[in-house]
C-alpha cells in the first residue's frame, strides 16, 4: 500500500507549479502535525480523562445540572486540534480540489463532513460523570475504557444524560474518524490513479480506419 501511495503522491507533485508545491508542503506538514497531535491526545484522553468532582452529587431523579469546570490540559488541547483538523479539511480540501484536481472529489466533501462529525461527537462524549452499575459516581474510573469493559448505567456530559448504547456508539464513532479519513484518502488517490491510467490508455489507442 505505502509504495503505491508514495508513487501516486509523487505524480501529483510533478503536476503542480512551484508556488502550489509550497502551499501543498505547508498543508502537508501542518496536517501531519495535527493528525499526530490528535492521535496522541486522543489516546491520552481515552485512558485518563477524569470525571468532574462537582458532578458527583448528580442524581437522575432530581435532574440537577451542575456547572462544569473549564476543560483544561489534554482535553482542551485535543479539542483545539480537532478544530484545526476541521479547518484544514475544509480549506485544504477545497484548495486541492480547485488547484490540483480541477473538480470537487467526493473525498473533499467526505473529509469535511467527517471532521465536523468528529468535533460534534468529541464534544458530546466529553463526560463529567460516569455511573457504573453498583458504584457511586465518585467510584468511576478515569478514561473511556470503562464504557466498554464495565456495566454502565449512564454518562453525563454537562448538557444531557446518555445511555450506555448511545455513549458507546458516539465514543466509538469519534475514535474511528482519523483512521476513516486516512483510508478514504488512500482510496481517493488510488481511484485517481486508475482514472489517469484509463485516460492514458484511451489516448494512446490507435484510431480505427
The whole-number average pLDDT for the span 30-45 is 89
Average pLDDT, the chain: 79
Q: Provide the terminal-to-terminal Cα distance of the chain, rounded to the nearest Å.
A: 41
User: Is residue 11's pLDDT more than 60?
Assistant: no
User: Is residue 145's pLDDT more than 60?
Assistant: yes
Q: What are phi and psi of 181, to 5 degrees?
A: -65, -40
> CA-to-CA distance for 155 and 166, rounded, in angstroms?
9
> CA-to-CA distance for 125 and 128, rounded, in angstroms?
9
What confidence category does residue 63 fall into, taking pLDDT thresholds of 50, 70 and 90?
A: low
Q: Specify the higher pLDDT residue, 74 or 13.
A: 74
- The pTM assigned to this predicted structure is 0.77
User: Is residue 208's pLDDT more than 50?
Assistant: no
Q: Specify the higher pLDDT residue, 107 or 157.
A: 157
Helix, strand, coil shares, percent, the chain, to 5: 65, 5, 25
The residue extents of the domains of the chain are 2-55+72-196
CA distances from 145 to 27, 130, 142, 148, 149 (A): 33, 11, 8, 6, 6
User: Is residue 6's pLDDT more than 60?
Assistant: no
> CA-to-CA distance for 17 and 20, rounded, in angstroms?
5
Q: Taken in order 43, 47, 52, 58, is the CA torsion positive or negative?
A: positive
Which tens digits make up the pLDDT trace of 73-132?
A: 788 889 888 888 888 877 877 776 666 665 556 776 777 788 889 989 998 999 999 999
Q: Are 112 and 90 in contact (CB under 8 A)?
A: yes
Length of the chain: 209
What confidence category does residue 204 fall into, taking pLDDT thresholds of 50, 70 and 90?
A: low
Amino acid at each position: 500500500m505505502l509504495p503505491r501511495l508514495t508513487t501516486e503522491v509523487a505524480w501529483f507533485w510533478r503536476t503542480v507549479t512551484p508556488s502550489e508545491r509550497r502551499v501543498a508542503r505547508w498543508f502537508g506538514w501542518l496536517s501531519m502535525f495535527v493528525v499526530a497531535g490528535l492521535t496522541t491526545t486522543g489516546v491520552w484522553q481515552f485512558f485518563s480523562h477524569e470525571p468532574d468532582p462537582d458532578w458527583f452529587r448528580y442524581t437522575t431523579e432530581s435532574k440537577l445540572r451542575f456547572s462544569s469546570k473549564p476543560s483544561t490540559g489534554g482535553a482542551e488541547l485535543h479539542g483545539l486540534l480537532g478544530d484545526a483538523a476541521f479547518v484544514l479539511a475544509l480549506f485544504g480540501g477545497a484548495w486541492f480540489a480547485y488547484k490540483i484536481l480541477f473538480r470537487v472529489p467526493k473525498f473533499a466533501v467526505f473529509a469535511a463532513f467527517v471532521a465536523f462529525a468528529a468535533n460534534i461527537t468529541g464534544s458530546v462524549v466529553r463526560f463529567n460523570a460516569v455511573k457504573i452499575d453498583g458504584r457511586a459516581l465518585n467510584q468511576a474510573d478515569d478514561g473511556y475504557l470503562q464504557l466498554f469493559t464495565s456495566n454502565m448505567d449512564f454518562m453525563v456530559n454537562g448538557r444531557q444524560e446518555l445511555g450506555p448504547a448511545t455513549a458507546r456508539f458516539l465514543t466509538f464513532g469519534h475514535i474511528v474518524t482519523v483512521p476513516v479519513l486516512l483510508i478514504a484518502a488512500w482510496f481517493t488517490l488510488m481511484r485517481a490513479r486508475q482514472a489517469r491510467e484509463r485516460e492514458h490508455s484511451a489516448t494512446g489507442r490507435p484510431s480505427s480506419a
